[in-house]
Amino acid sequence: MVAVSKPRGTRDFTPEEMERRRAVEKKMREIFESYGYREIATPTMEHMELFTMKSGEGVIEETYSFHDKSGRMLALRPELTAPTMRFYMEKMRMSPKPLKVYYFGNCFRYDRPQKGRYREFWQMGCELIGTDKPEAIAELIATAYHVLEGTGLKNVKLRVGDLELLRSFIKKLGVENSEIMRLIDKSDYDGVSELIGEKEGAEEFMEFLNCRELDSLKKFFGGEAGRIESVLEWLSSFGVPYTLDTSIARGLDYYRGIVFEIDAPSLGAEKQLCGGGEYTLLPLLGGDETATAGFALGFDRIVLALEKEGYEFPLPEELVYIHPIGDEMRKEAVLLATELRMKGLKVEMDLMRRSMQKSLQYADRIRAKKAVIMGPDEWEKGMVVVKDMKTGEQKEVRKEEIGGYL
Ligand code: HAM
C-alpha cells in the first residue's frame, strides 16, 4: 500500500495504455477534421454558474465545485458544451457560419464509480453552430457514427429521437416535465406509468414511447412526423444505419428538437458511447437564438469497447537500442543516438552501464526492433554491429550506412 492513493473514480494510465489511447484519439481527430471540424480548448474549471444555468439538477449534484481563495464558486467541468457556448459568446460570435468546432478533454462528475463510469473521464465532442437544416443535423449525427466506425468498432447502435414530439405529448398529458423526463431517461417505464396513471391519453403516450418505426410514428401526428422525418431521410443519404427511438430524453436540460444516442451493446450497463442533439444555451448567456447542436463521445468507453471486441491496437513505432561496449564508446553512442533521432528514429541507449547480456535483455523487454552494438575494435574500422532483436541475426555494417539497416 502506498501512503497516498489516487482519488476514487480516477485512473493512472501506463505507457502501454497511453499508446493505445493516443492511437484511438488520433483516428477520431482525423474523422472530425475530415468533416471540417477544427479543435478548440477551454479551461478545466469554470464558474459554477455556467453549469447550474440550464444543465439540470443532476448536473449540480454531480459537479465538483469549490470556492477559490477569493471566494468565487468554481467547478471542474462536467462536460464541454456549456464552456464552448461561453467561449463562443466571448470570442467566436463573428466567425463565419456554420461554425464547426471539436474538443478533447477531461471532465469530472461525482458519479458512483463502476466499470465505464468514472469521476474523471475524457470526452471528444463537437458543436455545430449556426444551422438547423435537416441535412446539417444529419451530417452531425453521421459524424458521430463515422468517428466511432473509424476507431475500428464493429458493433454500435444509433438511436434517433425528437424531443419536440416527446414534449408535445407530455404537455397534453399535463404532468410535470422534469420528473417524467428523468424517468424516461432512466428507461423506468413502470415509474412513467405510475406517474401518468389513468390520465387521458396515458395509454397512447406509452404506445408513443415504444414506437420504433417512422410509419407508426406518423400515425400519432396525422400522417406527418415533421423534422425528424427529413433528418432520417438525410441520414440514409449519409449511409448511416439508425433506429428511431421516441423515448430518448437525454439527461441534460438544454436539449431541444432532434436528439440521438449511440451504444456499444457489448459494454452492458454503461454502454452509452455517445449522446447529443440540438439544444438551446446561447440566449441564457445573453446571445440570440442561433441554432446549436452537438454531441460528445465517451472516450474511455470507446477504448473499453474496442478491447471487448478484441480489436488489435496498432503497435507503437519501432525503437532502436544502442549498446556501447566499454566506457570509451559512450560518447560515440550519444553522438550516434542524436544523429539517428535527427533522422526521425526512436532511439534509446544504455544509460545504466550494463553488461552486454543485461543490456540486450532490457532492449528485448522494451520491445526494441534493432540493437546497435558499438565495440571499440569495430568502431576503429568504421563498423558497428546491428542485431535484429526478433530473429537474433547480427550483421556488421559500415557506420555511414547504418540508416539502411534500422
Ligand atoms: P452526456 O451524455 O452527458 O452528454 O455525455 C456524453 C458521453 O460521455 C456519454 O455518452 C458517455 O459515453 C460519456 N460519459 C458521461 N459520463 C461518464 C462517466 N462518468 N464516465 C465515463 N464516461 C462518461 C454531454 O456531456 C453533452 N455535453 C453532449 C453534447 C454536446 N450535447 C451537445 N453537444
| Per-residue confidence (pLDDT) for residue 178, from 0 to 100 | 82
| Per-residue confidence (pLDDT) for residue 61, from 0 to 100 | 81
| Per-residue confidence (pLDDT) for residue 169, from 0 to 100 | 87
Q: Which residue numbers in the chain have pLDDT < 50?
A: none
Q: Which ranges of 186-329 does DSSP label H, i.e. alpha helix?
A: 189-196, 202-209, 214-220, 227-237, 299-308
Concatenated DSSP letters of 218-234: HHHTTT--THHHHHHHH
pTM given for the model: 0.94
The residues, ordered by sequence, that sit 6+ positions from 378 with a Cβ below 8 Å of its Cβ are 384, 385, 396
Ligand 1 atom at shortest distance from the alpha carbon of 125:
30
For residue 183, give the C-alpha cell: 424517468
pLDDT tens across 61-86, in order? 889 999 999 999 999 999 999 999 99
Q: Is the CB of 86 under 6 A from ligand 1?
A: no
Strands (E), 44-130: 45-47, 65-67, 73-76, 99-108, 120-129
Check for a shared fold between 15-308 and 319-405: no
Report domain extents, the chain: 15-308, 319-405
| Per-residue confidence (pLDDT) for residue 198, from 0 to 100 | 84
For residue 286, give the C-alpha cell: 445573453
| Per-residue confidence (pLDDT) for residue 58, from 0 to 100 | 61
**b vs e for 171-207, b when ≥16 Cβ sit within 10 Å of the residue's Cβ?**
eebebeeeebbbbbbeeeeeebeebbeeeeebeebee
pLDDT tens across 249-284, in order? 987 788 999 999 999 999 998 999 999 999 999 999
Atom 14 of ligand 1, nearest CA residue: 298
Report the separation in Å between the CA atom of 225 and the middle of ligand 1, taken as the mean of its atom positions. Answer: 28
Residues 80, 296 contacting (CB under 8 angstroms): yes
| Per-residue confidence (pLDDT) for residue 2, from 0 to 100 | 81
Cα–Cα distances (Å) from 186 to 273, 355, 367, in that order, read 16, 62, 46
Nearest Cα neighbor of 129 from 167, 166, 169, 88 is: 88
Cα 149 to chain center, whole Å?
13
Q: Is the CB of 111 under 6 A from ligand 1?
A: yes
Q: Which CATH class is domain 15-308?
A: alpha beta
| Distance (Å, whole) CA 127 – CA 160 | 17
* CATH classification number, 319-405, choose in 2.30.30.240, 3.40.50.800, 1.10.357.10, 3.10.20.440: 3.40.50.800
Candidate of 108, 112, 123 to mutate for ligand 1, largest count of ligand atoms within 8 Å of Cβ:
123
Report the separation in Å between the CA atom of 274 and the middle of ligand 1, taken as the mean of its atom positions. Answer: 6
